[in-house]
Amino acid sequence: MSAPLLSVRDLSVVVRGDEGERTLLERVSLDLAPGEILGLVGESGSGKSLLCRSLVQLLPSRAISVARGEVWMGGRDLLALGEAQMQQVRGAEIGMIFQNPSSHLDPVMRVGDQIVEGLCFHRRLDRAAAKAEALAIMGQVGFTDPARQFASYPHEFSGGMRQRAMIAVALACDPKILIADEPTTALDVTIQAQILRLLMELREKRGLSIILITHDLGVVAQTCDRIAVMRQGRVVEVGDKRALLAGPAHPYTRALIASHPSMPADGEYDQVDDQADRTDEASLPRPSAVPARPLVEIDDLHIRYPLPGGLFGRRRSFSAVDGVSLQIRPGETVGIVGESGSGKSTLARAMLGLTPISDGHVSFDGATLRGQPAVALAKIRRQAAMVFQDPFNSLNPRLTIGQTLAEVLHVQGKVAPAAIPARVTELLELVELDPALAGRRPRQLSGGQCQRAGIARALAVDPRLIVADECVAALDVTIQAQIVALFQRLVKTMDLTLVFIAHDLAIVRHLCERVVVMHHGRIVEEGPCAEVFARPREAYTAALIAAIPDIDPDRRLLAPPPELIAC
């Protein structure tokens, strides 16, 4: 093996507070070889991002400092360099892609100018040469019209294009190492595949070394050469990806692998169907008995939003939902999948009367929102609830969890005031939260705990229907598995109907018995999960399935062709 390009030795990072000193990273040692992609995996709080920020002296707080250790690159200890020297290292030698490009791209500065800025600072190019180089880089990272998009602002791009802009900024100074911190966590599976393929191609073309931070073992299995597993500030296991995934030595690594919702391999669907009678009921969703009347019935639904402009006073509009018809029966678990902008969330909000309907009909338990709006809304508000994507922002930050649940119970009026405290405790226990957490506010809880509190709030309505809108998208894979298991148990024990919206088809395959695939506001495919995933009729559905990163390192990561995704 060649000499490492970057070598971390015994790195320890501490935080100092009122209660004294606490260790965040403990004696971390790692090597990164030239041209290597190293996957850094672990749950939130394990120290992945802090480790990489420590390498370039970008610690998130003055209370946090490096207590000991060395970071060697090019014969220098980076931790011994002053700020002026580190400014030359950042960007020129080590570039960084952050998880949320919206927070790290300047919202009032054109994207092209943000690329040019680094070129002028590090490579001392004049404005004209820097712009020409910036346009070339934008073409390399997948911008379709660099000359026009150079003058665009970040808010004019989709999430995938903003991430490409972030990569272009990081690559502008031709670094030797690229640190990618959760670059695909919030992206659709198809856009995720495109970004991962892009990083792999850039490694081949530029000879980059990449540190890829993620909590998804499927991503590292398909893109990385080696994997380092972190937990509670320590590296618990490092190794070649095939050896580590095939024979993990540490119990935590085994737990991560067990939690990953991989899709079955080709041909495994038929085996699953053949063995269904001998399989534990909890392992695969089974079709429920079909009652006479659907709980939710949607007929030729159209939802349009007005657009500015239009010739001769004609009004222009955008169809977010375009002629959708769907029935959801009591006790069903239905997954709605598709990319951002496909109309999933708009359809879900229309089900609950939260979005105005342009044409068509939505009925809940026999009452239609257009014909009997007062009756239908009264039923929905007493019998349906929603779990939102962002667990922190969906809860009132000023109220404790107990106050949030008590407020819902008070408004619903189904529980006597004197019995509300006991019901709050019961709800917390139902979602496997310690009742002692009732006195805490959302900022004092982890993401998984906040999402459980959001589910408890939905259950406080005593609902027949729960709509979960991308409620596990931002969570670690182990927490995702816990939330999915919780939903499985609640559906089985409480006779709930669940509509689960996601862009992660593997999770839908594990949780739901029926799947609805949406594209550009329309349903393009619908049917039992096992059948749709094993034998998709539509090319778009097949592209979604092919783009899912699998934990098998020998499966190729297939990025769908842009013309298919744009169709």
> What confidence tens digit (pLDDT) does each residue in 408-447 have?
999 998 899 999 999 999 999 999 889 999 999 988 887 7
CATH for 469: 3.40.50.300
Residue 276 lies in a domain: no
End residue of a domain, out of 136, 151, 174: 174
Question: How many CA atoms, within 13 angstroms, populate the side-chain half-sphere of residue 320?
Answer: 19
| 382-393: pLDDT as tens digits | 999 999 877 777
Note down the domain range covering 504: 329-547
3-state secondary structure of 242: helix
Residue 202 lies in a domain: no
> At residue 260, what are phi and psi to the nearest 5 degrees?
-75, 125
The CA dihedral of 429, 431, 435, 441, to the nearest 10 degrees, is -170
Look over the chain and give the mean of its residue pLDDT values, rounded to a whole number.
85
Residue 520 lies in a domain: yes
Residue 277 lies in a domain: no
Residue 160 lies in a domain: yes
Amino acid 79: pLDDT: 93
Residue 269 lies in a domain: no
DSSP secondary structure of 467-480: EEESTTTTS-HHHH
Name the β-bridge partners of 97. Answer: 180
Angle between helices 189-206 and 539-546 (to 10 degrees): 60
End residue of a domain, out of 154, 174, 194: 174
Q: Which residue has the higher pLDDT, 269 or 399?
A: 399
Residue 343 lies in a domain: yes
Amino acid 393: pLDDT: 78
Bridge-based pairing of strands 20-32 and 177-181 is: unpaired
Helix/strand number for the chain, H first, E second: 22, 20
> At residue 11, what are phi and psi to the nearest 5 degrees?
-80, 125
- Over residues 520-528, the mean pLDDT reads 93
Residue 247 lies in a domain: no
| 276-335: pLDDT as tens digits | 333 344 444 444 444 558 999 999 999 998 876 666 666 778 888 999 999 999 999 999
SS (HEC) of 509-561 = HHHCCEEEEEECCEEEEEEEHHHHHHCCCCHHHHHHHHCCCCCCCCCCCCCCC
Question: Number of folded domains in the chain?
Answer: 2
Residue 114 burial (C-beta neighbours within 10 Å; 0-12, 13-18, 19+): buried
End residue of a domain, out of 150, 174, 198: 174
| 191-220: pLDDT as tens digits | 778 788 888 888 888 888 999 998 778 888
| 525-562: pLDDT as tens digits | 999 998 999 899 999 888 888 877 778 777 666 555 55
